[in-house]
Amino acid sequence: MMGGPDNTVWPAFAKPGQPMTISDVAQGNLAAHYLALSPFGTEMRLKPRAGEGDTVKTTYWTVWQDCCDVVVGGFVVAGGCSFPVASPSGGGVVTGAGTANVSNGSATVTFSTLQTFPAGTIFVFYSQPGVFYALQANMVGVTTGTLSAPYGGTTAPASIFGYELP
Protein backbone atom coordinates (compact mmCIF):
# COMPACT_ATOMS: atom_id res chain seq x y z
CA MET A 1 0.00 0.00 0.00
CA MET A 2 2.94 2.37 0.51
CA GLY A 3 4.57 1.41 -2.76
CA GLY A 4 2.91 1.78 -6.10
CA PRO A 5 4.21 3.36 -9.25
CA ASP A 6 5.64 6.35 -7.35
CA ASN A 7 6.79 5.77 -3.77
CA THR A 8 9.08 8.81 -3.77
CA VAL A 9 6.54 10.86 -1.78
CA TRP A 10 7.51 8.90 1.34
CA PRO A 11 10.63 10.00 3.20
CA ALA A 12 13.26 7.44 4.17
CA PHE A 13 12.62 5.09 7.07
CA ALA A 14 14.59 5.72 10.27
CA LYS A 15 17.80 3.82 10.82
CA PRO A 16 18.32 2.08 14.18
CA GLY A 17 18.76 4.66 16.93
CA GLN A 18 17.14 7.49 14.94
CA PRO A 19 13.72 9.01 15.71
CA MET A 20 10.81 7.63 13.72
CA THR A 21 9.92 9.30 10.44
CA ILE A 22 6.44 9.76 8.99
CA SER A 23 7.10 6.63 6.90
CA ASP A 24 7.65 4.56 10.06
CA VAL A 25 4.43 5.87 11.62
CA ALA A 26 2.45 5.29 8.41
CA GLN A 27 3.73 1.75 7.87
CA GLY A 28 3.13 0.79 11.50
CA ASN A 29 -0.44 2.06 11.49
CA LEU A 30 -1.23 0.50 8.13
CA ALA A 31 0.04 -2.88 9.38
CA ALA A 32 -1.93 -2.47 12.64
CA HIS A 33 -5.09 -1.66 10.66
CA TYR A 34 -4.88 -4.85 8.62
CA LEU A 35 -3.96 -6.93 11.67
CA ALA A 36 -6.90 -5.47 13.62
CA LEU A 37 -9.29 -6.52 10.86
CA SER A 38 -7.89 -10.05 10.64
CA PRO A 39 -9.50 -12.87 12.63
CA PHE A 40 -6.44 -12.86 14.90
CA GLY A 41 -6.68 -9.13 15.61
CA THR A 42 -9.76 -9.11 17.81
CA GLU A 43 -7.73 -7.95 20.81
CA MET A 44 -6.20 -5.05 18.84
CA ARG A 45 -9.51 -3.76 17.56
CA LEU A 46 -10.51 -0.27 18.68
CA LYS A 47 -14.16 -0.14 17.66
CA PRO A 48 -13.93 -0.20 13.86
CA ARG A 49 -16.57 1.87 12.13
CA ALA A 50 -18.06 1.91 8.69
CA GLY A 51 -16.24 4.00 6.11
CA GLU A 52 -17.04 4.80 2.51
CA GLY A 53 -18.22 1.82 0.50
CA ASP A 54 -17.08 -1.48 1.97
CA THR A 55 -14.10 0.03 3.80
CA VAL A 56 -13.99 -0.48 7.55
CA LYS A 57 -12.10 2.24 9.37
CA THR A 58 -10.04 1.70 12.49
CA THR A 59 -8.13 4.26 14.52
CA TYR A 60 -5.01 2.93 12.80
CA TRP A 61 -6.53 3.60 9.37
CA THR A 62 -7.31 7.18 10.40
CA VAL A 63 -3.67 7.77 11.43
CA TRP A 64 -2.52 6.14 8.16
CA GLN A 65 -4.73 8.56 6.21
CA ASP A 66 -3.38 11.50 8.22
CA CYS A 67 0.17 10.42 7.33
CA CYS A 68 -0.76 10.21 3.65
CA ASP A 69 -2.28 13.66 3.80
CA VAL A 70 0.84 15.10 5.45
CA VAL A 71 3.23 13.81 2.80
CA VAL A 72 1.07 14.95 -0.10
CA GLY A 73 0.08 18.31 1.40
CA GLY A 74 -3.50 17.64 2.38
CA PHE A 75 -4.83 17.72 5.91
CA VAL A 76 -2.44 18.65 8.69
CA VAL A 77 -2.52 16.94 12.08
CA ALA A 78 -1.99 19.13 15.11
CA GLY A 79 -2.55 18.14 18.71
CA GLY A 80 -4.39 14.98 17.73
CA CYS A 81 -7.03 16.79 15.67
CA SER A 82 -7.08 16.93 11.91
CA PHE A 83 -8.61 19.65 9.80
CA PRO A 84 -8.17 20.94 6.29
CA VAL A 85 -5.68 23.71 5.72
CA ALA A 86 -6.98 25.68 2.77
CA SER A 87 -4.52 27.18 0.35
CA PRO A 88 -5.25 30.25 -1.75
CA SER A 89 -4.74 27.94 -4.71
CA GLY A 90 -6.70 25.12 -3.05
CA GLY A 91 -3.59 22.94 -2.77
CA GLY A 92 -2.86 22.72 0.97
CA VAL A 93 0.63 22.86 2.46
CA VAL A 94 3.34 23.71 -0.10
CA THR A 95 6.87 22.31 0.15
CA GLY A 96 9.33 25.11 0.83
CA ALA A 97 12.50 25.85 -1.10
CA GLY A 98 15.66 24.78 0.72
CA THR A 99 15.78 23.49 4.27
CA ALA A 100 15.11 24.85 7.75
CA ASN A 101 17.23 24.47 10.87
CA VAL A 102 15.10 23.90 13.97
CA SER A 103 16.17 23.17 17.55
CA ASN A 104 14.10 21.55 20.27
CA GLY A 105 12.88 24.18 22.72
CA SER A 106 13.72 27.16 20.48
CA ALA A 107 11.23 29.36 18.62
CA THR A 108 13.91 30.44 16.12
CA VAL A 109 13.92 28.83 12.68
CA THR A 110 16.78 29.44 10.25
CA PHE A 111 16.23 28.79 6.55
CA SER A 112 18.97 27.85 4.09
CA THR A 113 17.74 30.43 1.57
CA LEU A 114 16.23 33.91 1.83
CA GLN A 115 12.50 33.75 2.57
CA THR A 116 9.56 36.17 2.52
CA PHE A 117 6.49 35.15 4.52
CA PRO A 118 3.75 37.15 6.26
CA ALA A 119 3.11 36.76 9.98
CA GLY A 120 0.75 33.84 10.61
CA THR A 121 2.24 31.60 7.91
CA ILE A 122 1.82 28.00 9.05
CA PHE A 123 4.85 25.68 8.90
CA VAL A 124 5.19 21.93 9.22
CA PHE A 125 8.70 20.47 9.48
CA TYR A 126 9.73 17.05 8.15
CA SER A 127 11.56 16.43 11.42
CA GLN A 128 8.20 16.68 13.27
CA PRO A 129 5.51 15.68 10.78
CA GLY A 130 1.91 16.43 11.59
CA VAL A 131 2.60 19.33 13.97
CA PHE A 132 2.41 22.85 12.69
CA TYR A 133 3.76 26.18 13.82
CA ALA A 134 2.77 29.75 12.94
CA LEU A 135 5.23 32.50 12.08
CA GLN A 136 5.14 35.22 14.76
CA ALA A 137 6.25 38.18 12.60
CA ASN A 138 6.74 39.06 8.94
CA MET A 139 9.87 37.79 7.19
CA VAL A 140 11.04 39.83 4.20
CA GLY A 141 14.12 38.57 2.37
CA VAL A 142 15.75 37.08 5.49
CA THR A 143 16.82 33.61 6.61
CA THR A 144 15.72 33.75 10.27
CA GLY A 145 12.18 33.80 11.64
CA THR A 146 10.44 33.34 14.97
CA LEU A 147 7.74 30.73 15.49
CA SER A 148 4.75 31.45 17.72
CA ALA A 149 5.77 28.55 19.99
CA PRO A 150 9.07 26.80 20.69
CA TYR A 151 9.78 23.89 18.35
CA GLY A 152 8.96 20.63 20.15
CA GLY A 153 10.43 18.06 17.80
CA THR A 154 13.88 16.58 17.34
CA THR A 155 16.62 19.12 16.62
CA ALA A 156 17.19 19.01 12.86
CA PRO A 157 19.94 20.99 11.15
CA ALA A 158 18.39 20.47 7.71
CA SER A 159 14.68 19.72 7.96
CA ILE A 160 12.52 19.97 4.86
CA PHE A 161 9.58 22.27 5.49
CA GLY A 162 6.13 22.96 4.14
CA TYR A 163 4.12 26.13 4.53
CA GLU A 164 0.62 27.52 4.16
CA LEU A 165 0.10 31.25 3.75
CA PRO A 166 -2.54 32.83 6.02
Q: How confident is the model at residue 19 (pLDDT cuts 50, 70, 90)?
A: confident
Calculate the average pLDDT of the chain. 74
Domain span including residue 153: 94-164
Lowest-pLDDT range, 104-108, 144-148, 158-162?
Answer: 158-162
| pLDDT higher than 90, residue 152 | no
Per DSSP, the residues of the chain read ---SS--TTSPPPPPTTSPP-HHHHHHHHHHHHHHHHSGGGGGG----EE-STT-EE-HHHHHHHHHHHHHHT--EEETTEEE----TTS--SEEPSS-EEE-TT--EEEEEEEEEE-TT-EEEETTSTT-EEEBSS-EEEEEEEEBSS---S--EEEE-EEEE--
Q: Please indicate, yes or no, whether residues 104 and 153 belong to a single structural domain of this protein.
A: yes
Last residue of a domain, one of 37, 72, 107: 72
| pLDDT higher than 90, residue 110 | yes
Q: Please indicate, yes or no, whether residues 58 and 120 belong to a single structural domain of this protein.
A: no
Q: How many domains are contained in the chain?
A: 2
| 0.75 surpassed by pTM | no
Residue 81 is assigned to a structural domain of this protein: no
